[in-house]
Amino acid sequence: MTRVLYYMEPLLEVTNLETHYVSFGGARVVKAVDEVSFTLNEGETLGIVGESGCGKTTTCLSIVGLLPPAARIVGGHIEFAGKDLAQLSQSEMRRVRGAQIAMILQDPMASLNPLFSIYTQVAEPAYYHRSIRGRSLRQRVRQLLDAVRIPSPAQRMREYPHQMSGGMRQRIVGAIALAGGPRLIVADEPTTNLDVTIQAQYLDLLKELQQETGVAVIFVTHNLGIVARMCDKLAVMYAGKIVEAGAVRDLFNSPQHPYTKGLLGSMPKLGSKEKLFAIPGQPPDLASLPSGCAFHPRCTEAMPRCSTEEPGEIRVGGEWRARCWRAEPQYGQSAKGLDVDAAVGS
Amino acid sequence: MGNPQRVSMSMPLLEVEGLTKHFPVTIALFPRRQIGWVKAVDGIDFAVSPGETLGVIGESGCGKTTTSKLILLQESPTSGAIRFDGEDIAGLAGPELMRYRREVQVVFQDPYSSLSPRMRVGEIIAEPLQIHTDLSRAAQQERVAEVLDLVGLRPEVAALFPHEFSGGQRQRIAIARALVTNTRLIVLDEPVSALDVSIRAQIMNQLEELQARLGVSYIFIGHDLASVAHISHRIAVMYLGQIVEMADSLELCEKPLHPYTQALFTAALPAHPDDKREKLTISGEVPSALSPPSGCGFHPRCPKAMSRCAVDAPERKEVAPGHSVACHLY
Amino acid sequence: MVSLSPQTSAAAAAIGRPPIAWFGQFRGLPLLPLAILVPFVLIAVFADYIAPYDPTEPVAGMKIFIPPAWMQSGDIRVLLGTDFQGRDVLSRLIFGARVSLIVGVMGTVVAGGIGTALGILAGYLGGWADQVIMRLTDAWLALPALVFAIFLATMVGPSMWNIIIILGLVYWTRYARVIRGEVLSLREREFVKLAEIAGASSTRVIRRHILPNVLNSAMVLASLTIGVVIIAEASLSFLGVGVPPPEPAWGSMLADGRSMLMVGAWWLTVLPGLCIMMVVLATQLLGDWLRIRLDPQLRNL
């Protein structure tokens, strides 16, 4: 259970974010992130789920201000702690990154500098953003290494990344993320390269740290199991848009969007030999999206309307919304009615 | 539908006995001195019957990759035997070796590097035919179209190059290639781990369908318990080069006996936020294969370790029909 | 950096490629290098029809040392002047192009052929084959290229084909090194392993899987080497051990013209020098364009 803090307003509020990959001269535009909106409160965990090319990583990079040169935020707002991150300059973003927002990436070896000691790397955010020096700095590093359960921290501090295992490196990355005392951590598939038992330990650790520090987390993943384990809220992305968002339990119990249903149905359940539901077709090419709803070619519940009109966000209840014509009240959606045989084996 | 338990109980197709592979570790100085062994695979036994899927699950360093290399004759064992159709494959050469190569194939994890980038799909799939048979060009093309249809691709794709296909389609091409010579056993090394979630289900279903239709056996290596359990008839759990537990897939899910297997189950991700979460029973990391623990390899991390476990390595014994485990608790 | 999905990075790669403004591409082809090379190639091919005079004979009725036509004592009938024997400089340049380009291209082909073959063998077979070939490469590299070429030339006597083979023998090492490196990494790629597991013989694997995938690098290397070989040929001619007279070659024109500088006949050195420079520059630019175009990043798409 997450600790609900009293809050005045959301910690992070993304409104109609649009990030495009633009070619030189503007001849080709890929809408990597298209009208994405969500809110995140203090201490909450939001899961962003989707497959390759859906825009989840680009969304995170937009928030953290680390977009590659070819990409640009062309619209929308990212309200964080009173500022619109989309409008900040690089130097202003640098002050926010590390201190208030930290990022954890998939490959720990890529996030750690092989030339610097663990101490140097963990101390850096605390040094720059909190201006901690000397003995307090060393204590802080020890604290952080303890917090991420690194055994014999005093010794490990002096070691280098290549001397550690994958799981430990990912914890170090976690320690670095926490060093600046951030209010938000954006974690992009941090456990994909880890062994199953190491992943479990890491996720447990993350949950504990969240409870201790009250930090909010955005968890980007393609794995619904992680979402079930870690997240309070969920946003499902497809072709650059959020197709369904809401509380985790709501989406798992009665998903409204056929894509969400498909993702849930395609997860093998332990101990069950039930045939898996396979969403037919391939994820779309962002440069040439289908007309109307981007998902309609693969949708087992598509109606004629879906190929011509793009659905807006339909409010299902409270913060729960879905971008699907079927979510409209007249269709009386109930839990999972998946047409398994229609889609199986494609 | 699901996975039909239509497994032939006749002579096993592939039998592995006491298979061991130790890699010498040397200091790269002159003269080379050996400082130890990496016991990648340390005495494993299992068998795969025709039409059956044996799942192999384990984490890094458990030896599953080395096992597949040994089966595929990319490495030669330090000791032990691998028998295919009753014949030891170690001494195979010439036409016998070619026969083995024709009947045992592999599908790798990365769809982006398993297909030769400068060859057309049709040529890629036809290559085993060219190596093993002397079918005419036309006959080859016919067979290629046949297997493409089996994996759900249109015959026209034979003229295209790999880079025009998505990951899931490439894996289908790889599977088609693995089937083209009437293969009897396919080693699948994490075949869906690199694919998108929605495509994974497609490929898994396809694999099951192919097995039902063609009676081909699979050795399915994976790290995701749910996927492996879904597609496999039996599962072998590996840790530090040994099989610590082996049982029917459903039996294993209901009653995992070995503490490591149990840990894998508690570590597995839930399917629903409300799923009962058991406390994780494991801590620490997999020890280095260079200096494995004494006695039972798992004892330093085992929540139920006894004093005996540090001294004696347990043998794998059958404790229930078809269910064997290597643990002093039993 | 964050790993983007294949879709996204494909989109980004196709869009955000750095503009190769240097080449002013037209329909994807590099304008500048081709604008230089194509005319030269055509000139070399059709030299017999284009050249106004016989390059080996003095022009009838012309004096020696006539400067180019736009100069004061120039003559429009000998556009670029005459040399110390009264031969038409323009015709000599035209036929010289033939020699330079043929030697350049063929020499590169020989070098590329030897080097690629050795590189593949070393990389794929490994073991002692690798050791032997690599030590050979090292030893060969230790030889000063030009000195070695001169040595060989004096041994076997100068003729166009001898020069081609000699230059091929001198310059193969750069191929061997690079190709071997590529093959080493190719060998570990899964499609090669799959071929081996399927029972393919080494010959088959090399022919169908390794060779096609190193051709890109070989081609880029080749285009960059042509320039070097052309200059080497020119140097050999300059030193008198290149393609023998009276066959005109830019290098020997340079050599002959050197002593004429004193007399003020600058066109006898500057013009052949300009030709060498333009052709070499063009091949280098072409090689550069090829390298960017055939970037391995795009190979995975």
Residue B264 is part of a domain; what is its CATH number? 3.40.50.300
Give residue A160's pLDDT: 92
* Longest CA span, chain B: 68
Above 90 in pLDDT, residue C122?
Answer: yes
Q: Let me know if residue B5 belongs to a domain.
A: no
| Residue B182 sits at the chain C interface (C-beta within 8 Å) | no
| Residue A111 sits at the chain C interface (C-beta within 8 Å) | no
Q: Let me know if residue C237 belongs to a domain.
A: yes
One-letter amino acid of C39: P
DSSP conformation letters of C123-182: HHH-HHHHHHHHHHHHHHHHS-HHHHHHHHHHHH---HHHHHHHHHHHHTHHHHHHHHHH
The Cα of A58 is separated from the nearest Cα of chain C by a number of Å equal to 8
Provide the domain limits for residue C266.
43-299
Q: How would residue B9 be classed by pLDDT, with cut points 50, 70 and 90?
A: low
- Looking at CATH, the fold of the domain delimited by A12-231 is given as Rossmann fold (3.40.50)
pLDDT, averaged across chain A: 87
Q: Let me know if residue C1 belongs to a domain.
A: no
Q: Let me know if residue C14 belongs to a domain.
A: no
Contact (CB<8Å) C199/B102? yes
Which of chain A's residues have a Cβ under 8 Å away from the Cβ of B250?
271, 273
pLDDT, averaged across chain C: 82
Q: Provide the CATH number for the domain around residue C97.
A: 1.10.3720.10
Count of structural domains, chain B: 1
One-letter amino acid of A16: N
Q: Which residue of A has its CA nearest to C4?
A: A57
| Residue B128 sits at the chain C interface (C-beta within 8 Å) | yes
Q: How would residue C26 be classed by pLDDT, with cut points 50, 70 and 90?
A: low
A342 or A324, greater pLDDT: A324
Rounded Cα distance between B106 and C165, Å, is 46
Contact A228, B269 (CB under 8 A): yes
- How do strand A184-188 and strand A12-22 relate by DSSP bridges? unpaired
- Average of per-residue pLDDT across B120-141: 92
- CA-based nearest residue to A28, from C273, C15, C206: C15
A82 or C134, greater pLDDT: C134
Contact (CB<8Å) A268/B204? yes
Please report, for residues A189, A227, A259, A332, A335, the alpha-carbon distance to residue A251 in angstroms, rounded to integers and kept in the order given: 21, 11, 11, 16, 10
Which of chain A's residues have a Cβ under 8 Å away from the Cβ of C8?
21, 32, 52-53, 57-58, 286
The Cα of B116 is separated from the nearest Cα of chain C by a number of Å equal to 5
Q: Let me know if residue C257 belongs to a domain.
A: yes
Contact (CB<8Å) C8/A286? yes
B162 or C14, greater pLDDT: B162
Nearest residue, CB atoms, A228 vs list B227, B275, B286: B275
Q: Which residue of A has its CA nearest to C15?
A: A23
Q: Let me know if residue B168 belongs to a domain.
A: yes
Count of structural domains, chain C: 1
One-letter amino acid of B154: R
Give residue A38's pLDDT: 93
Cis peptide before C246 (omega within 30 of 0): yes
Q: Which of A73-87, A330-344, C278-292 has the highest mean pLDDT?
A: A73-87
Which tens digits make up the pLDDT trace of B175-228?
A: 999 999 999 999 999 999 888 888 999 999 999 999 999 999 999 999 889 999
HEC readout, chain B: CCCCCCCCCCCCCEEEEEEEEEEEEEECCCCCEEEEEEEEEEEEEEEECCCCEEEEECCCCCCHHHHHHHHCCCCCCCEEEEEECCEECCCCCHHHHHHHHHHEEEECCCCCCCCCCCCCHHHHHHHHHHHHCCCCHHHHHHHHHHHHHHCCCCHHHHHCCHHHCCHHHHHHHHHHHHHCCCCCEEEEECCCCCCCHHHHHHHHHHHHHHHHHHCCEEEEEECCHHHHHHHCCEEEEEECCEEEEEEEHHHHHHCCCCHHHHHHHHHCCCCCCCCCCCCCCCCCCCCCCCCCCCCCCCHHHCCCCCHHHHCCCCCCEEEECCEEECCCCC
Rounded Cα distance between B122 and A285, Å, is 25
Give residue B207's pLDDT: 95
Find the helix packing angle between B167-179 and B197-214, rounded to 10°.
20
Query: What sign has the CA pseudo-torsion B315, B319, B325, B328?
Result: negative
Please report, for residues A244, A315, A338, B307, C150, the alpha-carbon distance to residue A318 in angstroms, rounded to integers and kept in the order given: 13, 7, 25, 57, 87
Give residue A318's pLDDT: 86
| Residue B110 sits at the chain C interface (C-beta within 8 Å) | yes
Q: How would residue C21 be classed by pLDDT, with cut points 50, 70 and 90?
A: very low
| Residue A69 sits at the chain C interface (C-beta within 8 Å) | yes
Query: What sign has the CA pseudo-torsion C158, C164, C165, C169?
Result: positive
Above 70 in pLDDT, residue A195?
Answer: yes
Give residue A121's pLDDT: 92
Nearest residue, CB atoms, A278 vs list B2, B202, B274: B202
pTM above threshold 0.90:
no
Which of chain C's residues have a Cβ under 8 Å away from the Cβ of B128?
198-199
Q: Which two tokens stand for residue C204?
A: 């088959």
Contact B268, B253 (CB under 8 A): no
Above 60 in pLDDT, residue B266?
Answer: yes
Which of chain C's residues have a Cβ under 8 Å away from the Cβ of B163?
299-301
Q: How many CB atoms lie within 10 A of CB C262?
A: 7
Provide the domain limits for residue B254.
14-325
Q: How would residue C46 be classed by pLDDT, with cut points 50, 70 and 90?
A: confident
Q: Which residue of B has its CA nearest to C7?
A: B166
Interface ipTM: 0.86
- CA-based nearest residue to B102, from B71, B140, B133: B133
Sheet holding B79-84, edge to edge: B33-48, B14-27, B79-84, B87-88
- CA-based nearest residue to A249, from A317, A162, A172: A317
Give residue A346's pLDDT: 40
pLDDT, averaged across chain B: 89
Above 90 in pLDDT, residue B2?
Answer: no
Nearest residue, CB atoms, C197 vs list B74, B117, B132: B74
Give residue B196's pLDDT: 86
Give residue A37's pLDDT: 93
Place of tokens 């690599």: C134
- Average of per-residue pLDDT across C133-158: 84
Above 80 in pLDDT, residue A4?
Answer: no
C239 or B178, greater pLDDT: B178
Q: How would residue B11 be classed by pLDDT, with cut points 50, 70 and 90?
A: confident
Above 70 in pLDDT, residue A335?
Answer: no
Q: How would residue C248 be classed by pLDDT, with cut points 50, 70 and 90?
A: confident
Which of chain A's residues have a Cβ under 8 Å away from the Cβ of C25?
none
Best residue of C5, C9, C25 to probe chain A, by most A CBs closer than 10 Å: C5
Ordered by start, the domain boundaries in chain A are 12-231, 255-343
Q: How would residue B91 be classed by pLDDT, with cut points 50, 70 and 90?
A: confident
The Cα of C290 is separated from the nearest Cα of chain A by a number of Å equal to 21
Q: What is the phi-psi region of residue B20: left when phi exceeds 0, alpha when psi lies from -120 to 50, beta otherwise?
A: beta
Instruction: Indicate the helix (H) or strand (E) that contains A83.
Output: strand A83-84
Q: Let me know if residue C80 belongs to a domain.
A: yes
Please report, for residues A119, A138, A140, A151, A192, the alpha-carbon distance to residue A154 in angstroms, rounded to integers and kept in the order given: 9, 9, 12, 9, 29
Q: Let me know if residue B21 belongs to a domain.
A: yes
